[in-house]
Structures are given as C-alpha cells and as structure tokens.
A and B are shown apart, each in its own frame.
Chain A
Amino acid sequence: MVTITIDGKKIEIPENTTVLEAARMLDIPIPTLCHHPKLTPFGGCRMCIVEIKGIPRPVTSCTTPVSEGMEVATSTAQLEGLRKTVMELILSDHPNDCMICEKAGACTLQELAYFYGVRENRLAGERRTYTKKDGNPFIERDLEKCILCSRCVKACDEIQGVEAIDFGYRGFKSKICTSYEKDLDCEFCGQCVAVCPTGAHTGKQWAFKGRQKDIREIDTVCPYCGTGCNITLHVRKSVSGEEVVRVTSKEDTWNEGWLCVKGRFGYKFINNPDRLTKPLIRITPKDREASGVKREENSPYDSHLTPYELFREATWDEALDYVASRLKEIKEKHGADSIGGLSSARCTNEENYLFQKFIRAVIGTNNIDHCARL
C-alpha cells in the first residue's frame, strides 16, 4: 500500500493502481477519452493529463502508476488549457454532425466539447473523408467520427479474442481497419460498439430509432442462452405504442457489459408483425391432404396454406372454455395420464412453477417435462 495526495485529498491504495483509478476512488473527475476500465491502458488521447510534483511535464494519469508520497493536481489552468487544445485538435478533424448523429446525447466527445466550449475551431484543416461501405447487417462504422482511441481494437482483441480490427496506415491516414479493408466479418458481438466513445461505431438497427433522451431504460436478462447476461432494454414511444429500439448492457453488471450478437442485436422479434395477437381455433382437419398440408421435399410439416387459413380467431373466453372442456372430457374418458404438458425453458420460474402445478394438481398427472434434453 502507498499513500498519495490528489488535489489535497489523501488516499491509501495498492501499488499497482494508476493515478486515474485513485482519483476515481476519491470521486475526483478527470476527463478521459481513450481509457476504459475493463481494457489495458493506451495513453493516446492525453485528456487525462495531471501534474505531479517533481515531474516537469504533465503526465497521462491513466498510464501512470501511483508511488509513495506522490502529490497530484488534476485541474490547473495549464492542464485545462492543454485539454482544450487536445479537444480542438480532435474536433478539427471531426464531422461535427451531432444534429443527426445516433450517439448525440450519449457521446463522450460531445460532452467534453461542450464542457470545454469548443466550437469555432482555430485549428480546422484538412478532414479525413471515408465512405461507409460495410456490407454487414449489424454494425455501422462511420470512421470519419473515429478519434483513434483504440478502445474498439482492444475490446475485440482482449475481451473477444477475435482481432477483427486494428490500426491501419500511418499519420493522418491512420484508421481502424479490418484486414485488407474487407467488410467486417466477425462474431458481431458489438463490444466495439459498446466501448466506442463517439458515433464511429453504432448498431445499424438503431438508425433513426430515437436518441438517448427519448428513451426509457429497463434492466432485465437476455432471453437467449443460459449465461443469463444482464441487459438493458431501451424503449421508445412510437405511434404504434412502445418499442424496444436498442439493447445495451451496463459496465457494472456481472457480465461487465459484454454481450454476444444474439443478446445485443437479436431483439427485433419482440415487435415482429408475425407475433400471435389473438387466440386461434383450428378449422381444418389435421389430415395432410384435407387440410392442404402437403409434404414438401425438405420439410415434413410444411403447408401451402398460410397458417391463418388453418385457424380462425376466437375470443379469450371462447378459447379458454374450449381448452378447459376438452381437457376435462379427455381426462374423464381416458384418465389423467392420457394428458401431458410440455413446459418451456424460455419461460420464467414462476410460469414453470405454475404450469407444473397445473398439470399435477389440476390435471392429476406427472406427465410434465421441458426441453432440458434437447
């Protein structure tokens, strides 16, 4: 353990902590762009500079480990001046199209530009121009907005182990590239999107679906695999009611904000027009010929009728009465053990509990199972 002083406040911390981490423990804000708490430090943006007594020039706090007796100042006139210059430099080569950027309102760069009051740019010069040309259906890469902070590259490598993207070219031309600049073809986990501090990486499905200020966030759990990642549904009011327009995961969840392609980009089934919206009762026999169900070469259960030609809509009362009376009839005629229930590993604990109770206590059989084996 070592003791250091930041802006006059003392703190005792383990040796391998960085100055930035120590400051955050003390709730002292230091602006950062390239630093990400779950990734190794990069030290590229220089926003996090601090003055340390005895060291002539400002140092980047995200890469500097603490040492005994260190005295740190995080906000002096000189530091703030330098930070403003850094911002001006970055913004001199930035499209500044916050008006239509998906990230506006949730963008670290925009936040800092606001904080440092950078608008008119005395450093404005040549701008990089790239065409967006990725054919992939998940991730939009608008590299004119990239500030080369390396977070996406590190997430892809350190967290995901994929290395689909890396720095390419040099100097002014420096750019985040796939190999040979081919279309992104990777695991599409979107960790790169999650860590990007600007609008350079966004989800394609998010486009024009609403920015952060119009959104209500609900914390819940991913509906796909047994990992059970914690996710946040972003819900926006639309003309047709409310809609889930984006899925993210918070950094302080047990899964540290990491998700896979299904959890992050697989939410659109929720308001899919195919959803069943009314109880349905069969009107055709199940016999293949009569019902028009024909045997397709590849699919033993395909039908040339649309499913809705096989059924008619019913009211809940009618459908429920029908279910109850048929189950009752069959139970009376053939005994409870002639009825079975298949529950769902997609449903909640409460639903599963109720359904097995229903089969056991109401129907009177233990013929209840779910797809654990399949």
Chain B
Amino acid sequence: MTNSIKEIEGMEVIFIIGSNTKETHPVIANRMIKAYRKGTKIIVADPRRVPMVKFAELFLNLRPGTDVALLNGLAHVILKEGIYNKEFIDEKTEGFNEWKASVEKFTPEYVEEITGVPSGDIIKAARLYGGSRKAGIFYTMGITQHTCGTDNVNAIANLALLTGNIGRESTGINPLRGQNNVQGSSDAGALPNVYPGYQRVDVPEIQNKFEEAWGVELSPKQGLKSTEMVPAALKGKIKALYVIGENPLVTDPNLNHTFEAFKNLEFLVVQDIFMTDTAQLADVILPAACFAEKDGTFTNTERKVQRIRKAVNPPGEAKNDTTIIMEVSKRLGYPMDYESSEEVLEEFGRVWPALQGITYKRIETQGIPWPCPTKDHPGTEYLYKGGFPRGKVHFTGVNFLPPAEITDKDYPFVLTTGRNLFQYHAGSMTRRVAPIEAHAGEAYVEINPADGERLNIKDGDIVKVLSRRGEIKIKARITNRVSKGIIFIPMHYREAAANVLTSDEALDRHVKTPEYKVSAVRIEK
C-alpha cells in the first residue's frame, strides 16, 4: 500500500477493483465503512456482487478478465472531460502523449461491449474518481491473478498518474497483501530475482555487496519462480525442494500436474506445523513452531513492521524455523550464529537501509512502517511524498487482451476462484478450528439462479465441475452473487480443490502469476 490503513478514513473516493475486501481483509473494510459513514464515496468493480457493494455508490459488474478495458475506459472519459491533473502530469510524469493515444479507442460504448458494464456507469465512475484529488485505489488478486495481471497493475497506475491521485495523505494506490507476512517475505528477499530489499541479484555491485556481507560467493543468475520450479521438477531439472510453511498441493494451479512434479523430486523437505498435503509427499518432515510460539516481526500490508511474541511453548519437540535453518546450515559448513531473532532483523537492516531504524524496542507497543532509515525516523505512513524515487514516472500504454482461456461450447462457464470470510488459504489452520469448520466446512460452487434453472441444478445439489485439467464434485450454492455464465469456487477445500481445475499454463506474461480468476469450465449434474 502506498497509504496507511488509517488514511482510508480521509479519502474522498475509494475505488475497489478486484478485491473482496469485506471477506479477505475484513478489518480494512471496517475502515472503509467508517469512511463511508463520514461521506466517502465508494466504487466497487468486481465480477461478483461482493459484500462491499452494500456500501457502494456505484457497482461496476464487469466480466472476469476485462479490467484493462474498464480502466482504460475510465481514463478515456477522464481525458475527454478534461478533469485530469495537468500540473501533476507535467511535473511528475513522462510519456503522457503517447499513452493518451493508446486509450483513444476505449470509448464507454466500446468498453461496455467488452466488460458488460453500462456506458453510463463508466462515465459516472470516471467523474467520481477523476473529479477527486483525494482518492485511493484498492486491489488484490482479482487484478493480479490474470495473464494480463501486470497490464492491470499498469492500467491502475496510469489512472492514478492521470489524476495525480498518489503521493499524498489519503491518496494513493493500495494493493492489499493477502497473507499475514507476504509483504515481509518479499521484503526479506524470498524472491528469485532480488536480495533482501528488492536489490537485484544480477547487478554485479549488488552481488558484491551481499558477498561481502555474507562472506561467500553468490550466484549472479536469477532463480526460478515457484510457478517455474514445479514444471522444472517435472522435467527433472529441480531435484530437491525445501518447503517451509507452504502447501503447493492445494494452492498451486493444476494440482494433478503439481502432484506428479512433487513425486518426481529426489528429495523433498517440508518444515511445517501440520501434516499438509505437501508434507505427505516429503522425505523428511521437520516440525515447526507457530506464530504463538516464537518471537519475531511480521510486516503488514501497509508496510508496518509489528512485533509478534512467544506466548506458549511449541508442542512436543517442535522447534522454531530460525533454529532449524541454523542447524541445517551449520551441518552444511556455514554456521549461522544468531543469539536472538532481533539480531537477524539487525542484519536485515544493515543490508537494507529502509529497515535500519527499526529495533524491537521501538516497536514494543506500536509498529513502524518502512522506510525507516534511522533510529529517530518516525517511519513512512505514505509513499512518494517528495516525488518518485527515480524521478519522473512513465505512463505505460496497455492494450486489452482477452484471458488465455475463453469459454466455448464444451466449457461454457467462466470459473473464478478466491477466498471466503471464514477459511484461510489452503485451510491447514482454519480447517482445524472446530467452530470455523462447523460453520464453513463444506466446499461449494456459486452458481447464478438463471444458470441453475437452465441446468436444473438446485441449491444443495452435488454437481461435477470439469475443466481441461481435471474435475471435482462439489455442492451447488445458488446465488445472485455471481452473474450468469460465471461460477465461483473458494480455494480452501482440499477435498474439492478448485486448483484441480485451474491452469498452470495461463500465467502472467511478466511475473508468472497463474490466471486463477478465469478458467473455462463445464458443469454437469
């Protein structure tokens, strides 16, 4: 997020696209509702009638995978009506004129054809967002889990640049990070192309810096992304995997394929708190401590580094991950001797100045958002206050390309996947919480009443959902939340895993995120 969560209250307009905020980030939704009570206008763009629609001034019910068209359409209207932010564009951006030409053809009528959103609503939304100089955009996987995910993100950035809605208090672009510490894992360099702090592994000076810090030679070659490691394992190029606290056998696309790939590994280590589906294929399982059994920090979606604390002992002989990693490392001839987790954070701060000012003592009662370069720096609530780090930012023209898989006679429905309010991700934690399981323990597929009637499917019927990759049996839930021709399956349920159906080939062209939000499927009774 470029803004902090608190700043939501001060926004004039909130534009939520591809985020089911009330179910996936419920307490951020509480802030949005607080803003709404003070008069903030909310626009929701989503293929599903998500709960936030209740508070929306405008609901843009677009077809899955057509976000670029919608966003370009909004830009088109803002340009045409002359409500864009000329000073901001002149001062802070480049490439405006070329980009302008690229949205020329996205008239409201043309966009209506692609997205199914009435042209009148497109114009209204453009006026609302474009007319405000204190607006925030919010998005999640509904934007990124597409073959055009990067394009979507660029189209959002263009909209913010066009209106100057970035770099001020209560004004910005706010991707909501899914998992508790997905921000922190990325910051810490659990990514194949960058060291901690987003420093590229293929830049020699940076490589040198880390070789010096860690006292070893490092590889200058970018590594494989998780979505590339699985096919590499299938081909026998990856022989061993060490997996900590992840469950790709529920969360990865095309699970049949993933199963084969994991089985093909010569050696698989899984370090986890439960016997997950992935652990069942392991050669060694190492029992780890959960969040309540260790000290450390998590970084939330607003970049705030917060303290977690040990409350109870890990069960049996389970150990915390830091200890286990240090033990393995020692055995491989590279002793890592950290007295405490705080020492690790200190080292992290030495290689990445944005964290340098953060100590456990400073975040004893309240977290600090990075960048926080010095011990007396208060942290950074919103980004780009004094301009952009690399000078001017560029408008990036994006064209609309349809999703990789389009519906046809054999697979006439669009499947979109996501989370629900009660369960979490692969469910290894929430599905072991009795009340949650009692209340939301059953997998379901959301089907529009008209489709239900046509296929003679009633609420509660068991149906078969098939894609080109596989099939699952699942209970039908007839609801207006989804539009005609679209179905939704939550990702949490291993016994009817939505990812049996999704594709591991339809990946974002740049960052290789799978297109979970659009697969072509068929329903049979």
Q: List A residues at the B interface (Cβ < 8 Å).
A: 136-138, 158-161, 187-189, 204-205, 216, 218-230, 233, 235, 241-244, 254-255, 258-263, 265-272, 274-282, 286-288, 293, 297-301, 303, 307-308, 310-311, 314, 316, 319-324, 326-328, 330, 334, 336-374
Contact = CB atoms under 8 A, between A and B. Distances in A.
A351 B321 contact: yes
Nearest to A249: B27
A361 B216 contact: yes
Nearest to A243: B312
Contacts of A349: 181, 184-185, 187-188, 296-299, 305, 345, 348
Contact of A326 (B190, B240, B296, B316): B240
Contact of A372 (B186, B284, B304, B306): B186
A374 B230 CA distance: 13
B288 A276 contact: yes
B190 A266 contact: no
Contacts of A367: 192, 223-224, 229, 238
A344 B246 contact: yes
Contacts of B191: 356, 368-370, 372
Given A261-B422, A339-B239, A353-B188, A348 B341 contact: yes
B241 A342 contact: yes
B251 interface: yes
Given A161-B33, A347-B321, 6 more contacts: A138-B439, A187-B26, A226-B181, A282-B284, A366-B201, A373-B513
A355 B176 contact: no
Nearest to B282: A282
A369 B6 CA distance: 31
B361 interface: no
Nearest to A369: B226
Contact of B436 (A228, A266, A358): A266
B86 interface: no
Interface residues of B, number: 169
B180 A218 contact: no
A226 B25 contact: yes
B180 A346 contact: yes
B326 interface: yes
Contacts, number: 490
Contact of B329 (A205, A235, A358): A358
A360 B219 contact: yes
B274 interface: yes
Contacts of A204: 435
B50 interface: no
Contacts of B455: none
Given A187-B26, A254-B6, A326 B283 contact: yes
A352 B301 CA distance: 16
Nearest to A354: B325
B311 A235 contact: yes
Closest 3 CB pairs of A and B: A277-B316, A228-B300, A344-B245
Nearest to B191: A369
A222 B430 CA distance: 13
B312 A368 contact: no
Given A137-B439, A233-B311, A342-B246, A347 B181 contact: yes
Interface in B21-45: 22, 24-30, 33-34, 36-37
